[in-house]
Structure 1
Amino acid sequence: MHENEVPLLEMKHISKDFFGNKVLTDINFSLNKGEILGLVGENGAGKSTLMKILFGMDEIHQTGGYGGDIIINGEKVQFSSPIDALAKGIGMVHQEFSLLPDFTATENILLNREPLKYTVFSELFGERLNILDREKMDQIAERAIGRLKVPLDKDMMVSQMPVGHKQFTEIARELSKEATDVVEGIKLLVLDEPTAVLSEQEADSLLKAMRLLSESGISIIFISHRLQEIIDVCNTIMVMRDGQIIKTVPSQGVVIADIARWMVGRDVGSSKREARGFDYENTPVLLSLQNLWVDMPGEVVRDVSLDVHKGEILGIGGMAGQGKLGIPNGAMGLFPAGGKVIFEGKEIALNNPRHFLDAGMAFVSEDRRGVGLLLDESLEWNISFTAMQIQEKYLKRYLGGLLKWRDQAAIEEETESYVKQLEIRCTSTKQKAKELSGGNQQKVCLAKAFAVGPKLLFVSEPTRGIDIGAKSLVLKALRKYNEENGTTIVMISSELEELRAICDRVAIISDGKVFGILPATTDSAEFGLLMIGQKSQVLEGGSV
């Protein structure tokens, strides 16, 4: 930045409270043209609230507004809605996707901004009979995708896309918002956890795309819990804690341990696990998947055969779209599947989730909002519902069981214990699930599964979108649950180091099949070979 150049964005003395509860205190920072700022902090540190203020979200206006000033290109602004922010060239890509599944990438990229062309009928009957200018739509979409330099098919339906391509579609949509008489072209892009659901390969493509955008003069605020990515791609790192900026430093020379310490105000030990010396020969197989195939959009599960031993924590990893997410979704009956699932020696009929719940299995889905939670219900109802339905827990019985009534006191007590154990940040157990941050929603999903007391628990992407402090807590909770209750856990994750931290063995899925299984203590380079479809040297000597 030249000495006389004005910062693209300045936020000065920003403060905000919700009903007397101070959530932001005297926030000051600036962002230069083409700069990538990494914004990190634990869930609840105030990152989302700060971005909502920047975007003029309704939630801010409806709760008394905010204190301080937002200055863009040296000019003080006050956005009454996100449309005002967009008109000034500010775009945002949220963690939860907002795409229409039955539309193509191009149709989503240009949704509500489609170029139209005149026809004979519109000349006669007015503009309402204009038709979509498909050629121009394709050109704009191609140009936006081209800026990212990613292999995104503009004609592919969103419902058929792997999750990484959905993320690229969201970003391309923002980039396609070009300058007009009333709207400025995109100058600042806020990316909220864009890599949380991506494989390492896809995340790498996204980081390269971010660098390209930065070089073209677009500024980026990058919110992520993957700290190595923050260090790799950002010029500046800004750490928030308890509604304040704790540190703003150039990224050069910073290491993960520094950021983690600034974020949580204490040293965060990485969750390294000693090998337990699990006795596979003398421990029975609890679950056996035989030639499992699953029909799940964006996933390939062709022929998975896998034995899970009683009491172990088995990890399942692999690149996005290769089949790792499809396995639990198919095995638990959420998507059409074939093959055999044998649990405790008995075959369980596929394609009906109730069969699996009745047998003693539970599933924490990667899609916490779509599958995992009753968003409009309280924490109490979310945590107790499945156990009440399947096992008739939390019910009082009268007249020899003829009459059953909800035991509210038992539900409250159980919910309180999980709030404490998992450190769920909430105003009370009566708070609605949709009002919690993503990380705390994930903890509620875990609590709901723990409440069922399953013999086997499938957990898919348990730390997606969770900060480093909460991540460590969730992993410890899973390990503790396994060790204290003897519950067998199958954990699916895009983050290999997480799997290595708490699992006994890790299976890598490639092209819809189990490509190899190694002890979790094996060097990560060996797992890397399996992920890219190469046999590891350890396996050549015989797998576990």
Structure 2
Amino acid sequence: MAANYILEMKNIVKDYFGNKVLKGVTLQVKPGEIHALVGENGAGKSTMMNILFGMPVIYSTGGIKGEITFEGKPVAIESPKTAMDLGIGMVHQEFMLLPGFTITENIKLNRETTRHNLISKVAGTSLKSLDLPAMRKDAQKALKTLGMNVDDWLPVAGLPVGYMQFVEIAREIDKENIRLLVFDEPTAVLTESEADKLLATMRILAAQGIAILFITHRLDEVLAVADAITVLRDGANVGFMTQGEANLEKIAEMMIGKNVERIVPTAKAVQSQEVVLSIRNMSVTMPGEMVKNINLDVKQGEILGLAGLAGQGKIGVANGVMGLYPATGEVYKEQSLLELNNPKKAIQNKLAFVSEDRRGVGLLLDTSIELNIMMTSMQIRGEFLKPFLGIKAIQMADYKKIREHALQMIKDLDIRCTGPTQITRRLSGGNQQKVCVARALTLQPEILFVSEPTRGIDIGAKKLLLDLLVKLNLEWGMTIVVTSSELSELRSICDRVAIVYGGKIEAILSPTAPDVEFGLAMAGKYSDREEAV
């Protein structure tokens, strides 16, 4: 039976330091089949592909449990070379090209065609010359298969990103033994016409007997080309269907569907309709998270969630409002127009931000907890300072006030530490995140932006942080905007969830809306359905 499949990954289990990310996943792919692998961010798709391609991170963290067979034979794929020798190719989401090399040189890299010269005939084959005509002929053949009409001797540097993507694919199909190709979000950087061309190319390759594993968030592309679809959620199989059985709603509901326990009541005692922050026609130039002309209102006293798949722009919203990346448009706090591109002004206007990059941006890791909590307030608001020897023009840190406030924050937020002087680097991830929140609260904000608050922390710490956000909202009356890749967490604490797709607001949903609505919005298809209705 195994011979019917070119690839079988059976009951694959993988954990990273006790965190189980794959829970017995099975994937079966037939020769010449386009098999789509879909799921939310964090569903386990990338880990599965890292296992298939023998990426070092898998075996440097304890390896896997389960069985992999390729062309009916059990295999141990413990390095990318093993995968390539088997005939497995991968087109990565991030380009793996050398900009200073030509298209041909990138396609033939490490598989160069050589020929003898006068020296090599005497001194040995290691001194052979490159057979450039033969290499260019192979490169042109691969490019022609993809329908690319481009000079193969052009340098990769300066090519449009769509062309770079096709060069990546050309490199893989040039390999003589290729039997299975993995496409990881191949159309993410392509225009609509380029994406259509790529999908047509996938059909051509499949017709030649090459199996294709297609990872994408664009469900319309899945329905257009996939012969079979496997859906992952939270590191487990939740569905398999053939092309004839699949539709948008069915896939979307499988991707999203999960039990969501509300931490806060669905309806608060007082649900304010007053708009406290109004974003109008805002665009943000944040690499990888571009925001394109969005409009969004934040209501007084609510917890508003910003959700969306990676790269769709959700993270760019808060970074743009807070002035960390170039932004255009208008942002009003109540009736006052805020100055964009000026973090100091944003903080002075009672906005605060907990960044998604706590170790790179949010914290001074080799500084004490108390100074991390106080630093921004000291610099921008001039607090926790006192005159030096009574001279008001010269200010110094007021360590008594700093210590008192730090101890209060440690108590209020339950920061687990040895004391306020402990170096922040030595805290756990969850407690580092609490220090970031403490610094934001020290600014006494009226609106708090929190980006990816539970990223990289354990389950117990996640629950504590979510409870903390709810406490700040319900007991302190703080308006909070939470950006997160964890949709279930947003649905557990938010009053509304805005879904960002393609840099724009695709939908604003109640946290109790049906799973299928969230799935369609995350895939950029919610507005299509609304128009159809």
1:58 aligned residue: 56
Assess, with a 3 A threshold, how the Cα gap between structure 1 residues 212 and 481 changes in structure 2: closer, same or farther.
Answer: closer
Name the counterpart of 2:231. 239
Matching of residue 263 in structure 1 with residue 255 in structure 2: yes
Contact 2:364 2:372 in 1 (8 A): no
**Which string of whole-angstrom CA distances, capped at 9 and with x for unpartnered residues, describes residues 239-259 of structure 1?**
112222111111224222211
Residue of structure 1 aligned with 2:201, choices 192, 209, 227: 209
Amino acid at match of 1:162: P
Q: Deviations over 1:50-96 (max 9, x none)?
A: 22222222222223322221111111111221111110000112222
Out of 144, 156, 159, the residue aligned to residue 158 of structure 1 is 156
Aligned ranges for residues 318-397 of structure 1 at < 5 Å? 397=384
Task: Determine which of 4, 10, 13 is the counterpart of 2:11.
Answer: 13
1:222 alignment counterpart: 214
The alpha-carbon distance between structure 1 residues 223 and 346, as it changes in their structure 2 partners (threshold 3 A), is closer
- The TM-score, its normalising length taken from structure 1, stands at 0.57
Please, which runs of 5 or more residues in structure 1 have no aligned partner?
180-184, 269-284, 298-305, 312-324, 336-340, 365-371, 432-461, 483-490, 503-522, 525-544
Question: In the aligned structure 2, how far is the partner of 1:111 from the partner of 1:55?
Answer: 18
- 2:196 is the alignment partner of 1:198: no
Q: Structure 2 CA distance, aligned partners of 1:40 and 1:413?
A: 33
Alignment of 1:176-195 (within 5 A): 176=174, 178-179=175-176, 185-195=177-187
Structure 1 match to 2:94: 96
Alpha carbons 2:90, 2:181 under 8 Å: kept: yes
Mapped partners of 1:66, 1:201: distance in 2: 40
Q: CA RMSD in A?
A: 6.1
Alpha-carbon distance, 1:262 to partner: 1.1
Matched residue pairs, number? 422
Does 1:69 pair with 2:77? no
Distance in 2 separating the partners of 1:77 and 1:237: 24
The residue type paired with residue 134 of structure 2 is K
Unaligned 5+ runs, structure 2: 261-277, 288-292, 299-315, 331-335, 387-395, 416-429, 438-447, 462-482, 510-526, 529-533
TM-superposed CA distance for 1:171, in Å, is 1.6
Which whole-Å CA distance do the structure 1 matches of 2:50 and 2:294 have between them? 47
- In structure 2, the residue matched to 1:427 is 457
- CA distance in 2 between counterparts of 1:357 and 1:132 reads 59
1:143 is aligned to 2:161:
no
Letter of the 2:180 counterpart: L
Distance 1:242 1:310 in 2: 31
Tell me: CA distance 1:481–1:56, structure 2 relative to 1, closer, same or farther (3 Å).
closer
The answer to whether the 8 A contact 1:55-1:79 is kept is yes
Instruction: Quote the Cα distance in structure 1 between the aligned partners of 2:180 and 2:451.
Output: 40
SS at 2:100's partner residue?
coil
Give the direction of change, closer, same or farther, for the CA distance of 1:495–1:36 in structure 2 (3 Å limit). farther
**Distance apart, 1:21 and its partner CA:** 3.3
User: What residue number does 2:26 align with?
Assistant: 28
Tell whether the 8 Å contact from 1:187 to 1:217 is kept in structure 2 after alignment. yes
Q: 2:78 aligns with which of 61, 77, 80?
A: 80
Over 3 Å counting, the alpha-carbon distance change for 1:347 and 1:501 in structure 2 is: closer
Q: Is 144-153 or 472-481 further displaced after alignment? A: 472-481
**2: distance between equivalents of 1:48 and 1:54?**
10
Offset, 1:144: 1.7
**Identity rate of aligned residues, in percent?**
35
User: How far does residue 104 in structure 1 lie from its aligned partner after superposition?
Assistant: 2.6
Partner amino acid, structure 1, of 2:208 = S
2:186 partner letter: P
CA shift for structure 1 position 220: 0.8
Query: When the two structures are superposed, what TM-score results if normalisation uses the length of structure 2?
Result: 0.58
Report the CA distance shift for 1:201/1:119 in structure 2 as closer, same or farther (over 3 A). same
- State the alpha-carbon separation in 2 of the partners of residues 476 and 106 from structure 1: 52
Distance 2:49 2:190 in 1: 22
- String of CA shifts for 1:273-312, please: whole Å, max 9, x gaps: xxxxxxxxxxxx99999xxxx9xx9xxxxxxxx999999x
Partner Cα separation in structure 2 for residue 309 and residue 47 of structure 1:
32
| 1:135-167 deviation line (CA, Å, top 9, x unaligned) | 222222212222222455533433312222222
Q: Which residue identity lines up with residue 69 of structure 1 in the other structure?
A: E
Question: Per the alignment, do residues 151 and 477 of structure 1 end up closer, same or farther by CA in structure 2, a change over 3 Å counting?
Answer: farther
Give the equivalent residue in structure 2 for 1:487: none
Call closer, same or farther: CA 1:243–1:493 in 2, change over 3 Å.
closer
Partner of 1:542: none
Aligned partner (choices 236, 243, 255) of residue 251 of structure 1: 243
Partner of 2:522: none
- Measured in 2, the distance between the counterparts of 1:309 and 1:501 equals 9
Aligned equivalent of 2:433? 415
Following the alignment from structure 2 to structure 1, what is the Cα–Cα distance between the partners of residues 324 and 449? Answer: 29
Q: CA 1:307–1:252 in structure 2 vs 1: closer, same or farther (change >3 Å)?
A: closer
Contact kept, 8 Å, 2:32 with 2:208, in 1: the verdict is: yes
Q: Match for residue 392 of structure 2?
A: none
Tell me how far apart the structure 1 counterparts of residues 34 and 294 of structure 2 sit (CA, whole Å): 45
Q: In structure 1, what is the equivalent of residue 513 of structure 2?
A: none
Q: CA deviation at 1:229?
A: 1.4
Distance 1:428 1:155, change over 3 A: farther
What is the rounded CA distance, in whole Å, between the counterparts of 1:16 and 1:397 in structure 2? 48
Q: Rate the CA distance shift 1:355–1:428 in 2: closer, same or farther, 3 A.
A: same
Deviation per residue, 1:157-200 (Å, 9 max, x gap): 33312222222222222112x23xxxxx1110111222223333
